[in-house]
Amino acid sequence: QVQLVESGGGLVQAGVSLRLSCAASGLTFSYYAMGWFRQAPGKEREFVAGISRGGGTPGYAESVSGRFAISRDNDKKTVYLQMNNLKPEDTAVYYCAAKRTILSVPYSRDASEYPYWGQGTQVTVSS
């Protein structure tokens, strides 16, 4: 019943910006911490960004800190990933994920802790 649908990926040149969206349904969205992960060919899935159920204290992987920003709109049941100054090494399939939490737990950087996942959206950055 829970469904997460990513959108906004595409083919872009280095240095430009994209905004990814993840629309959720079938859950009480405000009870869930959300995360963005990515996976490049031949590499393990890695944490990109996470945000608490209320939107406070977001966190980022070191490789994207200062360039990416995660946000959420609980009324729209949507989480966003703003990606600025994209680099070729950002090329990957990007996934959003949801994890039910209690008030004091912000998010997790461990993909195995997220039970719900979207289908992914491809981001390709050319040089």
pLDDT at residue number 85: 98
For 32-69, the pLDDT digits (tens) are: 999 999 999 999 999 999 999 988 889 999 999 999 99
User: What band does 25 get if pLDDT is binned at 50, 70 and 90?
Assistant: very high
Helix, strand, coil % in the chain, rounded to nearest 5: 5, 50, 45
For 72-93, the pLDDT digits (tens) are: 999 999 999 999 999 999 999 9
pLDDT at residue number 87: 98
Output the CA torsion sign for 40, 43, 48, 53: positive
Residue 5 is given by DSSP the state: E
Query: What Å distances lie between residue 60 and 11, 13, 18, 64, 122, CA to CA?
Result: 23, 23, 17, 7, 20
pLDDT at residue number 115: 97
